[in-house]
Structure 1
Amino acid sequence: MDLKGVTGILQKMIDHEGHDTILKKVKIVEANDKGTCIAELTVEKEHTNIFNTLHGGYIATLVDIITSLAILAHPRVGKGVSVNLNVSYLKPAKLGDELVIEGTTSKAGRTLAYLDCKIYIKSTKEIVATASHCKFIRED
């Protein structure tokens, strides 16, 4: 699936008006058939915790969604559900920070996909969080 297809899926998720509406400011900038999805986000007040840094739950949501879009971009993989999501929080992201979220497919097997994610500050390349995501998948 290409960039247009992945962007369309994200828009459908946002338009559903459920939890995924919190992703309305996320911009997909790259998606390819290697199972990669790259997005960008500027941290705004609505994304922060009481300390005015990016909320850990929002980071986990970014990991979940961007890696899920990465596996959807993979040529032979269909829908899936999360089996495990592990996030390491390394540095706070502050209001106004421009972030890059990179989701990559490490392995897409018959029933399981292993994905990695890295979130970093665009200008300095300082890593905010790293994550691994395992999904049960099925071919469509």
Structure 2
Amino acid sequence: MKPESDCVDTSQVEGNASSAVKHALLSSLQSMKTSHVSRPTGKPFRGFEAEFTSWLQLTEVSVLPKAEEPEKLEGRVVFEATVDEDMLNFAGTLHGGCLAMMIDMHVSSTHFWLELIRICSCSTSPIYVLGASTSGRGVFGVSQSLNIVYHSPALTGDKLHIVNTTLTLGSRALSTRCEVWNVTRHRLVASAVHINMVPSEPKASKSAKL
């Protein structure tokens, strides 16, 4: 039987990124969808994050010239999701917390050849794509801030495009933009700017004085 990672089909993912880069994101997403959380009671529990991840489909992975500055490149990753009843608030529209979870949904990989992926989210996945495509190594940090603006509601059955692009990749600060579009109703649902910081290497502790 083939390893799970060998069963990942990248042919349905659009974009000019290499098949290896697409494979990395797809296999990470797949591993999250099939994960389970252990409970003391022994009752099967898929897990909060795995449930959310199961709603996402990866549709595009690209590295493109920036429209405003063609000499600069940007990573672009697009996911799709369809709003269902489990995502709704009391008013019958997409819950803001659910939407935030989609934007900052974490997927991870432990494949030995993926030193590039540690932990990434929908909004920060283009950071990996740009780094892996240009330097062969993606760098991730920890979230410093996630600023979301909610523009319009989404209803059951609405199809969403979660479009993520890089803004800046500094030595310490990494920033991305995420736009969630309702392609059923042709309107913007939410936009966000996500800032990550690359943590400093831990300092060696001083020896205790005798």
TM-score over 0.5 for the alignment? yes
Structure 1: gaps spanning 5 or more residues = none
Does the 8 A contact of 1:88 with 1:131 survive in 2? yes
Within-5 A mapping of 1:42-81: 42-64=82-104, 65-75=121-131, 76-81=137-142
Paired residue for 1:130? 191
The partner residue of 2:31 within 12, 16, 28 is 12
Paired residue for 2:152? 91
Specify the code of the residue in structure 2 equivalent to 1:56: G
Bigger relative contact order (CA 8 A; separation at least 6) = 1
Within-5 A mapping of 1:12-51: 12-17=31-36, 18-21=47-50, 22-33=52-63, 34-51=74-91
- C-alpha distance in 2, partners of 1:46/1:10? 20
Structure 2: gaps spanning 5 or more residues = 1-19, 37-46, 64-73, 105-120, 132-136, 200-210
CA RMSD of superposed structures (Å): 1.8
Question: Could you state the TM-score of these two structures normalised by the residue count of structure 2?
Answer: 0.61
Instruction: Name which one, 1 or 2, has greater alpha-carbon Rg.
Output: 2
Q: Which runs of 4+ in 1 moved over 4 A?
A: none
Specify the code of the residue in structure 2 equivalent to 1:117: C
Structure having the higher strand fraction is: 1
Higher mean C-alpha displacement, 87-96 vs 8-17: 8-17
Specify the code of the residue in structure 1 equivalent to 2:53: L
In structure 2, the CA distance between the partners of 1:15 and 1:81, relative to structure 1 (3 Å rule), is farther
Aligned length: 138
- C-alpha distance in 2, partners of 1:13/1:83? 23
In structure 2, the CA distance between the partners of 1:121 and 1:25, relative to structure 1 (3 Å rule), is same
Shift, 1:20, TM fit: 1.8
